[in-house]
Amino acid sequence: MSERQFIDSLDFANNKRELRGQVALVEMPRLQDVLASPDASLQQDSNEGVGYILRGLQDENGKPMLSIKLDGVLELRCQRCLGGLVYPLKLVSQLFLAHRDDWDESYIEDGEAETILADQRLDVFALLEEEILLGLPFAPRHPAGACQVVAGGYLAEEGGRMQENPFAILSELKK
């Protein structure tokens, strides 16, 4: 089991620190709800969980930021047939850090990146978990026709519906 990491987020950003490693899936309790097999084979095969690189940086205006890179494989549950669905997780995101006092419009208007409150004891794994959850598809499904057969036939909807799923498009844009 990996040891939980805590950082002083502003110090981390302003000194351009970097942290990299693996976070075991068991360290991310809220993620368990969306995984098909939280403690099963996939995790043991890859023997780790999700690889991460957390970097501190400043944008061109000197605003402190965190950059997060995640790389791993999750097994989600298909929302149509409830079978396991292998989901390659590749995620890059950037977050602004703001003091509670400076929390103002300028941060919100930046639009591109999210903002989180600066924290002297930021729980790194909780942050990674949050980013993973935000990046996952809302209703993951196998491609049309690829669902497992269940008793009584396919649960699948007709294939055309898939393309119209607005969440699928959103998650594409996010990349």
Query: Under the rule (CB under 5 A), what is the footprint of Zn ion?
Result: 78, 80-81, 83, 142, 147
Closer to Zn ion by Cβ: residue 31 or 147: 147
Tell me the closest approach of the beta carbon of residue 138 to Zn ion, in angstroms: 15
- From the CB of 172, what's the least distance to Zn ion, in Å? 19
> By C-beta, is 70 or 81 nearer to Zn ion?
81
Residue 139: C-alpha distances to residues 135, 170, 171 (Å) = 12, 12, 11
Q: How far is the CB of 79 from Zn ion (least distance, A)?
A: 8
Q: Could you tell me which of 45, 132, 125 has the C-alpha nearest to residue 93?
A: 132
Rounded Cα–Cα distance for residues 128 and 124 (Å): 6
**Cα dihedral 77→138→29→128 (10° resolution):** 120
Rounded (5°) CA angle 91-29-37: 80
Q: Between 63 and 80, whose beta carbon lies closer to Zn ion?
A: 80
114-117 and 122-123 strand pairing:
unpaired
Min CB(17)–Zn ion separation in Å = 42
CB 68 within 8 A of CB 90: no
CA–CA gap between residue 117 and residue 20 (Å, rounded):
22
- Which is nearer to Zn ion, 49 or 84 (by Cβ)? 84
Q: Which residue, 16 or 161, has its beta carbon nearer to Zn ion?
A: 161
SS3 label, residue 108: helix
Q: From the CB of 91, what's the least distance to Zn ion, in Å?
A: 23
